[in-house]
Amino acid sequence: MTIHHHMRHQPYIPHNLSRIPSAPIPGQWTSGLCHCFDDPVNCAITCVCPCITFGQITEIINRGSKSCVSRGFLFGMLSMVGAACFYSCFYRSKLRGQYDLPEEPCTDCLVHFCCAACALCQEYRELKNRGFDMGIGWEANMDRQKRGVTMAPIVVPGMAR
């Protein structure tokens, strides 16, 4: 059997579907630090106004005890004095603790210091991939969960049983 003949039997997965997240695996991030363009809308928002993404992340991580607006505003104020990365690395650590995620590719503060936009995009995607609707906040997510409304599962073509 030739290599070409063998390859015809492999399911074809288009390149743009290769990064579609599957169910979260305990102890692993659902997407990489540099996969910002997996969610181009969030990437653009984060690049233009990172305080919005940060506020959305922190409202979920804080389980609604702090509002998106208050944390986003504080992040914006700290950005003006160059201290936002220290504040945001705290929340990356908190997120990792909640989901038992590894500190990679380096320490949380270094990730936020060197690439804050990528870190925020990854954290946003992590929460989204774990079932949160990032645009509606903590209370609305909990209300949806109580009513049994969940996100539709992501199905990769050609991978049916």
Residue spans of the domains in the chain: they are: 31-135
Tokens at residue 19, please?
């990064």
**In this structure, are residues 17 and 155 in contact, taking their beta carbons and an 8 Å threshold?**
no
**In this structure, are residues 123 and 50 in contact, taking their beta carbons and an 8 Å threshold?**
no
The confidence band for 108, taking pLDDT boundaries of 50, 70 and 90, is very high
Burial class (CB in 10 A: 0-12, 13-18, 19+), 125: buried
Q: What is the mean pLDDT of the chain?
A: 83
What was the pLDDT predicted at 121?
97
Which residues neighbour 52 within 8 Å (Cβ) at sequence distance 6 or greater? 45, 46, 72
Q: Give per-residue burial for 91-120: e unless 16+ CB within 10 Å, then b.
A: bbbebbeeeebeeeeeebeebbbebbebbb
pLDDT higher than 80, residue 30: yes
pLDDT higher than 70, residue 53: yes
Half-sphere exposure of 115 (CA within 13 A, CB side): 16
What was the pLDDT predicted at 148?
80
What was the pLDDT predicted at 55?
96
